[in-house]
Amino acid sequence: MTKFLGFLLLATTLFFGCSSDNSEKTFQISGSVIHGTNKNPLIGAKVQVEDSDISTVSDFDGTYEVELSSGSWKLLFSQDGFVSDLQELELSNSDSTNINLNIELLPESFFNLYHSRPFNQDTIPETSPNLDWSRLSVFQNYAVQVSESENFLSGIVVDVDTIKNDEFELPPLENNQTYFWRVRVQTLNDSWTEWTTPWSFTTKLPIPEIPDPLNDETILTQTPSFDWEDVDSASVYFVEISEEQDFSSNILFADSTLTESEVSISNILDLGKPFYWHVKIKNSDGVWGEWSETWNFTIIQATEINNFITTNTTWTKANSPYFVNNNIRVESGATLTIESGTEIFMGKDKSLQINGELIAIGTENEKIIFTSPRPNPGEWQNIYFTEEAVGAEIDSLGNYISGSILEHCNISYGGNENGMVYSNKSFFLNFVKIEFSSEIGVYFDLDNGENDISILNCKFEKNDIAIRGSSFYAFKNFFLINNVFDSNEGNFLLKLDLYATSNLGNSQTLIQNNLFQNNISNELADIRTLKSEIIVNENDFINNHCNNSIININFQHHLPSQLNIKNNFIKGNTSNYYLGYLSIYPTNDNLINAKISYNSIIDNICTNSSFQGFQINSEQNVITEFNNNNFSNPSNEFEIYNSSSIDIDLSNNWWGTTDESEIQDKIFDFFDDSNLGIVNYQPFLTEPDTTAPGFD
């Protein structure tokens, strides 16, 4: 690296023409040496021609003169406390014999010696790194010190003062150690500058990752192979396999000479017990890195399933676990029954397709397990109920009567865009845990018939989308009751687009007594329905974060119907836009009764100051009740945002204050934008309604 330190004024008179004299020419180099800041002549400045005995000093008026022959030359100009850049000249017989070279010298303090790399406090994946700093044109030597202590009073590992370049390769250092380094320069007058401010770096050799087997993996062979991610700086790998998690004893395999990032063992490992393994690298400096994290695996012997199921079949706990090695289909007319306590391991990208009937009923203490041998989301596809399947028959309250059923099951590590449980038919889930799907936990896509969906007492955890539902005039009832949605993270948590069958007037979407907590999504609940009554009652929405809104309901209807949002507790959530969005569009002048009452919306935060609180949008005044709700979100500018042109009656609600001017400020309506309708908030409650949740 070169730092410009001097200012060169070069004036040459070029001689153009031909000469018959081919003898070597002599050149007169002359000029003035002046102070770089005040421009005064410098007396006694030294002019030294590098790699020669030619030198002179400037006289009383700062002028100098040296005689050179043709060739390449480097001139150094200096005086006590002053220096310049190295001046390079190329002289040839075609050049003028008189060359004027004026030089400005700058104080040595203008030398800006600084570190370049490693960056300060950097972590570097090697043990013999290069130190690099700014390059100066005029110097004799650089000096570098490297120490384990910041004050350099002890732990010095490098102390060199004869470095000619602006970099230095360190000898091998210890791994996982913090070092401090500094540099200084020896100038032409033999003085040393001050040390630079120390920088630090930490050596940390790469640790192998992406293991195979994965941590907690279940494998089916007693002589497994092991694989991990290549590390470029590794010269050899060291692998250990043990029955003990701390590797203190029972080492079954150890090899420190592996040159590839894989190894197969001939040892026959026992079934049914955990084994532990880890790996580390040694680099070309002969320095060992740290051990990777410890991964464990278990070997099982499984009943392999490879064929289609054409007759009634039972998978028993006694023959468990089962390994689905191919895509399996339960044919029409056949029933697959799975006993409680049975484990099913699904092979890579495999699916269990139901054209017939699936009866999978576990118990609270003996769950039926559907999972992957590898604990990695998306390893297998799904349990798929086709249009040919025997769907679940469900009563008007959402209870199971007959047909396919999943009850007391744990389903994990599958899923894709079609869901880990995917259905084109009525289905029933009860006490089912859905977790670690790669995209969608449960997905239903209904195009034919009159279907009912009932999801009761289930838990959705660590999924992208928990439930995605779509029906094009092919569903009657949707029940989502007593479920827990916890720690899911993705685009949506609950997304429903439900068009009920056209000839039904008694279709309903019931979302009741569910807990939504600690989820992160664009929208927590996005519900869009046509011809279906919506009932959202007694749900808790706590400590969720959404980019758009917590609850988004888009309600359209061709028939007299009702929207009921009651007794919900919405607390401690954050949203980048609205807390909720309610859009109601009646069609053909049909009656809709929208009732929103006895809800508590408290201590929520909307980060976008322009869009806050609950937005209401409707083409007609269909809100027949909006009362006895508790609003208290002091961090938000608005509680209600009326984005429609109609007036809305929101009387008899608690607004977190009895100060009427403060209440007015919490409502965005006609008085903020004349294109909007008025929100009538009078009379208002003077204290929270304690019959609403959260205030008992």
Whether the CB-CB separation of 646 and 678 falls below 8 Å is answered with: no
**What pLDDT score does 499 carry?**
66
Taking residues 435-450, report their average pLDDT: 89
Of the candidates 447, 453, 446, the residue with the CA atom closest to the CA atom of residue 393: 453
The label of the residue with tokens 């590898």 reads 374
Q: Where are the domains of the chain?
A: 7-109, 111-203, 217-299, 302-482
Residue 447 has pLDDT above 70, yes or no: yes
Residue 13 has pLDDT above 50, yes or no: no
For 400-418, what is each residue's pLDDT tens digit?
999 999 999 999 999 977 8
| DSSP, res 664 | H
For 78-97, what is each residue's pLDDT tens digit?
888 777 767 888 988 888 88
For 279-325, what is each residue's pLDDT tens digit?
999 999 999 999 999 999 999 999 999 889 999 999 999 999 999 98
For 488-534, what is each residue's pLDDT tens digit?
998 888 888 776 555 545 678 899 999 999 999 888 888 777 666 78
Identify the band that residue 383 occupies on the pLDDT scale cut at 50, 70 and 90. Answer: very high
Question: Helix H segments across 30-160?
Answer: none
| DSSP, res 457 | S
CATH topology agreement for domains 7-109 and 217-299: yes
Whether the CB-CB separation of 45 and 81 falls below 8 Å is answered with: no
Q: 37-60 burial, b for 16+ CB within 10 Å, e for fewer? A: eeeeebeebbbbbeeeeeebebee
CA distances from 138 to 30, 150, 186 (A): 20, 29, 9
CATH topology of domain 217-299: Immunoglobulin-like (2.60.40)
CATH number for 7-109 (one of 2.60.40.1120, 2.40.30.10, 1.10.260.40, 3.30.420.40): it is 2.60.40.1120
Of the candidates 304, 433, 426, 450, the residue with the CA atom closest to the CA atom of residue 362: 433
**Percentages (nearest 5) of helix, strand, coil residues in the chain:** 0, 50, 50
- For 453, counting Cβ atoms within 10 Å of its Cβ (0-12 exposed, 13-18 middle, 19+ buried), the class is buried
Q: What is d(CA 437, CA 532) in angstroms, rounded to the nearest whole number?
A: 29
Average confidence score pLDDT of the chain: 87
**What pLDDT score does 138 carry?**
60
Taking residues 414-427, report their average pLDDT: 90
Taking residues 234-261, report their average pLDDT: 96
**What pLDDT score does 79 carry?**
84
Q: Which residue has the higher pLDDT, 186 or 262?
A: 262
pTM value is: 0.73
CATH number for 111-203 (one of 3.30.70.2190, 3.40.50.300, 2.60.40.10, 3.90.1010.10): it is 2.60.40.10
